[in-house]
Amino acid sequence: MKFCKKHLGELLTWKWSLFFILMFIVGFSQRHNIIDSSIFIQSGINQWDILIGITGDPFLCLYLILPFMLLLSCLTIRETFNITYLVRVHSWWQWVVYSVKIFSPVVVVSTTLLLITSLLLTLGLPYESNWSSFSSAELSTFNEMSSFSRQSNLSPYLVIIFQLSLLYIFLLSVHAFIATLYLYFSNLLYLGIISFAIFLYSLLSFRYIPDFPKLIAFNYMTFHSSYGTYHAVYPAFAILIGILIISIYVIPLLKKWR
C-alpha cells in the first residue's frame, strides 16, 4: 500500500504531468497518421492498431521516452551513489542491483503513462478482440507495425504485454549498463557523456544503418521491430536480459579485481 501511494503521488508531479502531455500530443499525431494510412490502403483499423502504433512509435520512443528516461537514470545514479548506500550494500554489484531496484518503479510509471495515453487515443474507434483488416493487408510502410505484430501469431493482448515488457527491460538494461560504467568513471561529466552517447547511437543507428538491423537500438525497444528483425518472439528479450545480467554481475566484478 505504501509503495502504491508513493508512486501514485509520483504520477501527479509536474515532471510526469508534462511527460504525459507531450506523449499525448505525439500520440495524437501518430493516431492521425495511422487513420490516414488505413484510408490510403482502404483497410479498417481497430483499437489494436492505435495501441501498437503509439506504444511502438519511433518518434515517441526515441525522441521523448528515451532522453527523458536517460535523464532520470542519471539522477537516480547520482542520488544512490553515496557512502551511505555503498556501506549498506557492501559490494559494487549489489549497489548496481540496488540502483536498478530504485529505478524500476520509475520505468513502471513511464510505461503506465504510455499505456494510458494509448488507451485514451483509441476512443472513437471500433473495439474488437481480433486483429483488424489493416494488420492483415499486404505489408507496407503504412501498416508495418500492425503487420509484423500480427505475423507473430500472438493475440493482440499478448503483443501489447510483450511490447510494454520489452520497453521496460530495455530501459532497465540501459540504466544497469550506465550504472556499471559509473563505477569506473564516478564523475557527473562522464555520466552525461555516456548517456548522451547512448541517445546519439540510438538515433543514428535507427536512421543510418538499416542494413544491420541487429545493431539498431530501436529494434530492442519495440516488439514489432524486434520481431521484424529476428522473426521470432524471444531473441530480443534474451539479449536484453543477457545485457542486464552482465551489467549487474559480471562488469562490477572486474572493478573488484582491479
Residue with cell 536512421: 207
Task: Say what angle helices 47-55 and 14-40 make with each other, to 10 degrees.
Answer: 130
**Interatomic CA distance for residues 73 and 114, integer angstroms:** 18
Sign of CA dihedral 244, 249, 252, 258: negative
Do the Cβ atoms of 108 and 7 come closer than 8 Å? yes
CA dihedral of 81, 85, 90, 96, whole degrees rounded to 10:
-50
pLDDT tens series, the chain, 258 aa: 555 555 556 666 778 889 999 999 999 999 999 999 999 888 889 999 999 999 999 999 999 999 999 999 999 999 888 777 777 777 788 888 999 999 999 999 999 999 999 999 999 999 998 999 998 888 777 788 998 899 999 999 999 999 999 999 999 999 999 999 998 888 889 999 999 999 999 999 999 998 999 999 999 999 999 999 999 999 999 999 999 999 988 877 766 545
Please state the pTM of the whole predicted model.
0.92
The candidate with the shortest Cα–Cα distance to 59, out of 120, 132, 124, 145, is: 145
Sign of CA dihedral 148, 153, 155, 161: negative
**Interatomic CA distance for residues 202 and 4, integer angstroms:** 32
**Interatomic CA distance for residues 257 and 79, integer angstroms:** 26
Distance (Å) of CA 173 to CA 117, 168, 246 = 24, 9, 10
DSSP class per residue in 12-64: TSHHHHHHHHHHHHHHHHHHHHHHHHHHHTT----HHHHHHHHHT-HHHIIII
Do the Cβ atoms of 48 and 143 come closer than 8 Å? no
**Interatomic CA distance for residues 41 and 19, integer angstroms:** 33
